[in-house]
Structure 1
Amino acid sequence: MTVSTAVTTLGTLYVYGITPAGVAGPRTAGVAGAPVRLLTESGLCAVVSTPPERLRPRRRDLAAHQAVLAELAGQGPLLPMRFAVVSPDSEALRAQLRGDRRTLLRQLDGVRDCVEMNLKGTVVPGYFAQLVRRDEHLGALAARARRSPDYQTNVRLGEALARGVRGEARRAARQVLARLAPLARRTAAGQVDDDQVLSTSFLLRAADERRFRDAVADQARVYGDRLALSVTGPLPCYSFVDPRPTPAGR
């Protein structure tokens, strides 16, 4: 979890992620330039560094966090932590690895050879002409606005068009999800609003990334007049793990 400011205490460990035991320690420098090291317990590794006194989501530290995760992900399954996740001290973290060992190993197995791809879809605001032709109510409003272009009629027409455009984009988003979900092992829905009507993460086998991108491109060709699609990834599998160390500042 990203936080704007967090104060750490002596002995606190900044946690990047959890891997099976046996990985090589990252050579990449960590947050605030700190050396990254491995804390091994019960067949698991927590990848940690000493945090700065105050954690802030500065660009260079966010980039360092991501670079450490990228190096780890190249070695095998990884349970990534979001920026600014800390553990009180090494003993607390070791105890957590021991206590949650079965759950963590199961999660690692669940993301083995996988990547996360995030798909967002936003409303295309200009999808008007087809709506007016198909919808009798909109057609009548548009005709009235042309005959008598008064303020209230224009407002009602604008509101009705906006609702119609959002509705078309939401319907397209449902069709896109129905087409793409079978390509994934799992999906996780994100937050949506009136403009961003689709936000979903897909857990894919790494080997299926190209196939997924091609399928997204196909859907963009079908629905691009009403729904603008964008893909981010491959990402660490943030949306498909349940890491337990405490976000700093909580």
Structure 2
Amino acid sequence: MALYVYAIAAEDHPLDIDDLSGVGSEPAPVRGIASGPLCAVVSDISEKIRPKRRDLSIHQEVQEHLMRGGPVLPLQFGYTAADESTVEQVLLKNADGYLANLERLGGCAEYHVRASQDEEELLRQILRETPEASELNERIRAGDRDPQLPMALGQLIAAQVQERQDALASGLVAALVPFAREHTVRQASGADFLNFSLLVPDDRQEEFRTAEANLARQIGDGVEFRLSGPLPPYSFVE
């Protein structure tokens, strides 16, 4: 029977998964498969697993449950193996790399930071603080029909938005990175101008959360901070 794989841990990880059920329409018990110095946490499946809300939630719950017992290498949602033999072979083949990763990630959790900015508030700031933009805007509002004005104003505003958000993102990253052992910055999407993850040691997590809360207050109106964590260190598994 095919297996859904949640995570990899050291063979001496306590697991404590006897009461957990896995993903799928017919959830099977979550269990461990030991191979050499490692253990994979799996459950039997009889169907193709799709990213439904229930299964995404169970995947996350298993990961977070395992984290409480020690370091794990969390797999992204949807990883499956043909059978136990396949899992055992993978664990043996990659044992050195997995063990090194477990050592590196031990005593840490991932925090994910996103930030977005209210577009209307940002536009008001730009028009208030940028004389050239303010002048162009006043000319358009006064009825100047020069067809180049809207394009010039749009380009100026777009450049200002990019410049201001890049500077703000850099400042936020610089302020939070000292609390992390590692970090990774991703391309922001949608309304977000910042999207990055930090690997924060357990003994610095309270400091980190305090610093993040202080930053959110200092930035003021118009910027929304969204902090997720502590999470399994998905972003830092190599």
Q: Give the TM-score, by structure 2 length.
A: 0.88
Once residues 74 and 104 of structure 2 are traced to their aligned partners in structure 1, the CA distance between those partners, rounded to angstroms, is 13
What is the identity percentage for the equivalent residue pairs of Structure 1 and Structure 2? Answer: 32
What residue is the counterpart of 1:164 in the other structure? 160
Once residues 151 and 75 of structure 1 are traced to their aligned partners in structure 2, the CA distance between those partners, rounded to angstroms, is 68
Q: Please state how far the C-alpha of 1:164 moved relative to its aligned partner.
A: 2.0
The answer to whether the aligner puts 1:132 opposite 2:127 as a matched pair is yes
Q: Is the alpha carbon distance of 1:206 and 1:157 closer, same or farther for their aligned partners in structure 2, counting shifts above 3 Å?
A: same
The answer to whether the aligner puts 1:45 opposite 2:39 as a matched pair is yes
Residues 72-100 of structure 1: per-residue CA shift (max 9 Å, x gap) = 11100010011110122222211111121
Q: Please state how far the C-alpha of 1:201 moved relative to its aligned partner.
A: 0.5
- For residue 20 of structure 1, the aligned residue among 10, 14, 28 is 10
Q: Which amino acid aligns with 1:62?
A: L
Once residues 146 and 46 of structure 2 are traced to their aligned partners in structure 1, the CA distance between those partners, rounded to angstroms, is 58
Alignment coverage as a number of residue pairs? 232
Q: Which amino acid aligns with 2:185?
A: A
The answer to whether the aligner puts 1:222 opposite 2:218 as a matched pair is yes
- For residue 136 of structure 2, the aligned residue among 141, 157, 181 is 141
Q: Is the alpha carbon distance of 1:60 and 1:194 closer, same or farther for their aligned partners in structure 2, counting shifts above 3 Å?
A: closer
Residues 156-189 of structure 1: per-residue CA shift (max 9 Å, x gap) = 5355334423431221011000111111000012
Q: Please state how far the C-alpha of 1:129 moved relative to its aligned partner.
A: 3.7
What residue is the counterpart of 1:84 in the other structure? 78
Q: Which amino acid aligns with 2:90?
A: Q
Which residues of structure 1 form unaligned runs of 5+?
1-10, 243-250
Q: Which amino acid aligns with 2:233?
A: C
Which residues of structure 2 form unaligned runs of 5+?
none
Task: Using the TM superposition, name which of 226-235 and 112-121 deviates more.
Answer: 226-235
Secondary structure of residue in 1 paired with 2:42: strand
What residue is the counterpart of 2:54 in the other structure? 60
Once residues 146 and 46 of structure 1 are traced to their aligned partners in structure 2, the CA distance between those partners, rounded to angstroms, is 65
Q: Is the 8 A contact 1:117 1:203 kept in 2?
A: yes
Q: Is the 8 A contact 1:13 1:86 kept in 2?
A: yes
Once residues 49 and 194 of structure 1 are traced to their aligned partners in structure 2, the CA distance between those partners, rounded to angstroms, is 35
Once residues 108 and 185 of structure 1 are traced to their aligned partners in structure 2, the CA distance between those partners, rounded to angstroms, is 14
Once residues 200 and 34 of structure 1 are traced to their aligned partners in structure 2, the CA distance between those partners, rounded to angstroms, is 35
Q: Is the 8 A contact 1:165 1:226 kept in 2?
A: no
Q: Which amino acid aligns with 2:20?
A: T
Q: How much is the aligned-residue C-alpha RMSD, in angstroms? A: 2.1
Task: Using the TM superposition, name which of 217-226 and 197-206 deviates more.
Answer: 217-226
Once residues 185 and 13 of structure 1 are traced to their aligned partners in structure 2, the CA distance between those partners, rounded to angstroms, is 33
The answer to whether the aligner puts 1:240 opposite 2:236 as a matched pair is yes
Q: Which amino acid aligns with 1:40?
A: A
Secondary structure of residue in 1 paired with 2:51: coil
Q: Is the alpha carbon distance of 1:52 and 1:159 closer, same or farther for their aligned partners in structure 2, counting shifts above 3 Å?
A: farther
What residue is the counterpart of 1:70 in the other structure? 64
